Structure 1
Amino acid sequence: MNIVSKSKKRVVLPSRPNPPTVDQILEDISQAKPNDPVFSVLEKTGQDSPRPSPGSDADQRFQQCREFLELNERLQAARERLLQQRDELRASGERLQEDVTEVKGQAL
């Protein structure tokens, strides 16, 4: 008969860090330079996949993604400005309406 001891203590592992948010990932990508080490990781690991040459399809897609992200940021900033201007116009309209009501009340 084989008796196995179950008295081993469980090792408590540290908790995993939270994964990065989408905003953090986008910020990291937008700040990446062409000579960033991540683009040469395949060369350093000795894998057969060569790094895409400049002007390749992958490079063009990368540039398109960067342009898209920059355009998306500009659109979000424009949206915020438009929302603020809309709120200002609504407040101005309400003040104007109050002034019109006040003038009408004085005229009577």
Structure 2
Amino acid sequence: MGSRNKKRIVLPSRPEPPTVERILEDVSRAHPSDPVFSVLRETSPDEKGGSGKTELERKYLLSRRFLELNEHLEGARGDLLLRREELQAVGEALDQSMKGVKGEAL
């Protein structure tokens, strides 16, 4: 009953995407200290004293390395869980064996 009485909310239409000219105008008006441009200009010297890699490249390589290490750790975690289960099973078998030996000794 109540759903028929509700008015539909009409959302405003989306704005038109900017034109290429507008984008170029925005880029040309951007201040040189704009974070987008400053990231592209930052460089760090490489180990050999060459031209160096941009800070952006360095961050990309670090993030790739992080993801590789994370995958490696996930695999190691799975291995450790399996080993833990095996050790628990062996521990339970050992407990049963010890109870059997104690029972025979009495």
TM-score with structure 2 setting the length: 0.51
RMSD: 2.4
Which residue does 2:88 correspond to in 1?
90
Percent of pairs identical after alignment?
39
Q: How does 1:1-108 map to 2 (within 5 A)?
A: 55-108=53-106
Query: RCO (CA 8 Å, sep 6+): is it higher in 1 or 2?
Result: 1
- Which amino acid counterpart does residue 87 of structure 1 have in structure 2? E
- Following TM superposition, where does structure 1 have runs of at least 4 consecutive aligned residues deviating by more than 3 angstroms? 47-50
- With normalisation by structure 1, the TM-score equals 0.50
Give the aligned residue type for 2:77.
R
Give the drift of 1:99.
Answer: 0.4
- Structure 2: any 5+ residue segments left out of the alignment? 1-23, 28-35, 42-51
| Distance in 2 separating the partners of 1:91 and 1:60 | 47
Name whichever structure is richer in helix by fraction.
2
Larger radius of gyration: 2
Q: How many residues align?
A: 61
